Structure 1
Amino acid sequence: MNRQEIKAVIFDMDGVLVDSEPVYFEIERYLFSYFNVNVSKEQHQAFVGTSIEDMWEKIIKDNNLKENKEVIVDYHKNYVIKHMEMLSKLSLTKNVKELLEDLKRKGIKIGLASSSTKQLIDIILNKLNIRDFFQAIVSG
């Protein structure tokens, strides 16, 4: 059996390259308070992996909010970007830098696919000094 050579590797950003869940959790706890909604930590945990659009749709419905979902989602996205620009505690997942360096050294192309916006991806990759590893980036 012939073993095929790996030519490229595609990574997800949040939770794979970057340990971002605690940061998003903290941001969302603030936003729940800002919009005066009561979301328990257990309910919040159940939203992990859900889009912010779907998360806010459920929260708006469950809390009978009068605010428009698009307005809340836009506020959420803008708040995340501003917070990430100022954040100093964001970190790579263990051994990611070494893996990226190894793939680059072997000439394997590296891509990134994320549901995050291009602007947020660029902020995070530049902040963590790993932007130059990626030949292709696809954003949500």
Structure 2
Amino acid sequence: MIQTVIFDMDGVIVDTEPVHHFAYVQHFKQLNIEVSPEMYASFTGNSTKNIYERLKTIYDLKEDVQTLVETKRNLFNDAFDQKEDLYLLDGVKDLIIDLHQNGMQLILASSSANVTIQRIFNRFDLNKYFTHKVSGEDFPKSKPHPAIFLKAAELAKTEVQNCIVIEDSTNGILAAKSAGIYCIGYDSFHSKLQDYSLADKVISHFNELSFETIRNIN
């Protein structure tokens, strides 16, 4: 029986991708580099640190990785604070409340930085529903490496076979499956160039899920 639901954040709980994209594009212009749409799509599910480690190698950037990360984060934070039309994805808050009220443990496992996670959780009053929040910045390798989901299951004190992951990215789905966790792929209109073929179940709206449907997954 499922005891813990592990949520990704960007593209699952809230669509901050346009804000991230804006911040990255602004920074790429400052760095005078051109990143193709295909390369950018491959970043989905990776931590900012890992992305800039890749970019530093590919483009031989002179700045150190931490400086690159902080510059992009500042651009993101400024854009995030100024963006008024930022909402939770349709139906996800209802699902979170339904699961929480019925005693399901909820964990966040996001590639976003801790400060970004907290910014979003404070803005949308989500802290009371989740027992733990895990950030990809605390791991040397990003999704598709399974470390973040294995840590989430460990914090939940739940065997992986009693967990599920809700993910919207190719890398996230690969990470969940590598961790041995049942994965629900969320294929929304926000998703770009992602592969859901390895997900155990694919949904396009959160009204397809409930405490009852999730509890009985095996």
Match of 2:78 among 72, 79, 82: 82
Root-mean-square deviation (CA, aligned residues, Å) is 2.1
Distance 2:33 2:7 in 1: 34
1:17-53 Cα deviation digits (max 9, x unpaired): 1222222112111111122212233332232223323
Structure-2 residue corresponding to 1:128 = 124
Match of 1:50 among 35, 43, 46: 46
Structure-2 residue corresponding to 1:69 = 65
Q: Measured at CA, do residues 8 and 75 of structure 1 come closer, stay the same or move farther in structure 2, by a change above 3 Å? A: same
Q: Measured at CA, do residues 39 and 135 of structure 1 come closer, stay the same or move farther in structure 2, by a change above 3 Å? A: same
- Sequence identity (%): 35
Larger Rg: 1
Structure-2 residue corresponding to 1:91 = 87
Structure-1 residue corresponding to 2:100 = 104
Contact 1:37 1:63 in 2 (8 A): yes
CA shift, 1:100, in A, is 0.9
Contact 1:10 1:112 in 2 (8 A): yes
TM-score by length of structure 1 reads 0.80
Gaps (5+ residues) in structure 1? none
Structure-2 residue corresponding to 1:29 = 25
1 or 2 for the larger relative contact order (CA 8 Å, sep ≥6)? 1
User: Would you identify which runs of 4 or more consecutive aligned residues in structure 1 move more than 3 Å?
Assistant: none
Distance 2:50 2:130 in 1: 29
Contact 1:14 1:20 in 2 (8 A): yes
Gaps (5+ residues) in structure 2? 137-218
Contact 2:48 2:112 in 1 (8 A): no
Alignment partner of 2:115: what SS?
helix
TM-score by length of structure 2 reads 0.55
Q: Measured at CA, do residues 87 and 131 of structure 1 come closer, stay the same or move farther in structure 2, by a change above 3 Å? A: farther
Supply the AA of the counterpart residue of 2:132: A
CA shift, 1:81, in A, is 3.0
Distance 2:109 2:44 in 1: 18
Supply the AA of the counterpart residue of 2:74: N
Contact 1:84 1:124 in 2 (8 A): no
Residue 138 of structure 1 pairs with residue 134 of structure 2: yes
Q: Which moved more, 1:42-51 or 1:89-98?
A: 42-51
